[in-house]
Amino acid sequence: MANKKTAKMDKADNAGSKKVVKGSKVSLDYEGKLESGEVFDSSKHGDHSHPLEFEAGTGMVIAGFDAAVMGMKIGEEKEFSIEPKDAYGMHRAELTKEIPRDALPKEQEPKAGMTLVIGTPQGQFPVKIASVNEKTVVIDMNHPLAGKKLIFNIKVIGIDEKDFGTHNHQH
């Protein structure tokens, strides 16, 4: 009897020591903030809360996030920051473009800070209006988090070597 009990304890110890490695299917709760303290994303959204699930080390998440989760264990929490180069890159001036104001829909008055959805051959994506004058509008096609240092608080809630399959939550 004592041998069976010892074997069960060894199994529990091994489960607790599983670490995130390249290819691990990771499930974690997270909160992402800017240096100002503004929360830009979180896995907790009231009734719509769900963990982030991804395969570690495969580029499914930004490079700095991937690197930070490596070696973590289930239940472990960590706060880390990611410099722009390891997140969404630096803000690039060549991704701003001046367009004629009359090229925009007439229904709404364009204002700096507004977001528009632009259609391209690669699909639709949001762009921000950087400035507006009488005849033109400057749009900014950079990612909204480009050039920003990101701060994350994460807690690993699952590590699995098997494929998530249909369990991966899609928005």
Any domain includes 3: no
Q: Are residue 84 and residue 151 in the same domain, yes or no?
A: yes
pLDDT tens digits, 31-90? 999 999 999 999 987 777 789 999 999 999 999 999 999 999 999 999 999 999 999 999
Residue 41 and residue 33: Cα distance in Å, rounded?
Answer: 7
Q: Are residue 50 and residue 105 in the same domain, yes or no?
A: no
If one counts the domains in the chain, the total is 2
Residue 25 and residue 51: Cα distance in Å, rounded?
Answer: 12
Any domain includes 169: no
Any domain includes 171: no
Any domain includes 30: yes
Any domain includes 49: yes
Range of the structural domain that residue 158 is part of: 17-88+146-162
Any domain includes 170: no
> Using CB atoms within 10 A of its CB, is residue 83 exposed (0-12), middle (13-18) or buried (19+)?
exposed
pLDDT for position 103 = 86
Decide: 154 and 29 in contact? Cβ < 8 Å.
Answer: yes
Any domain includes 80: yes
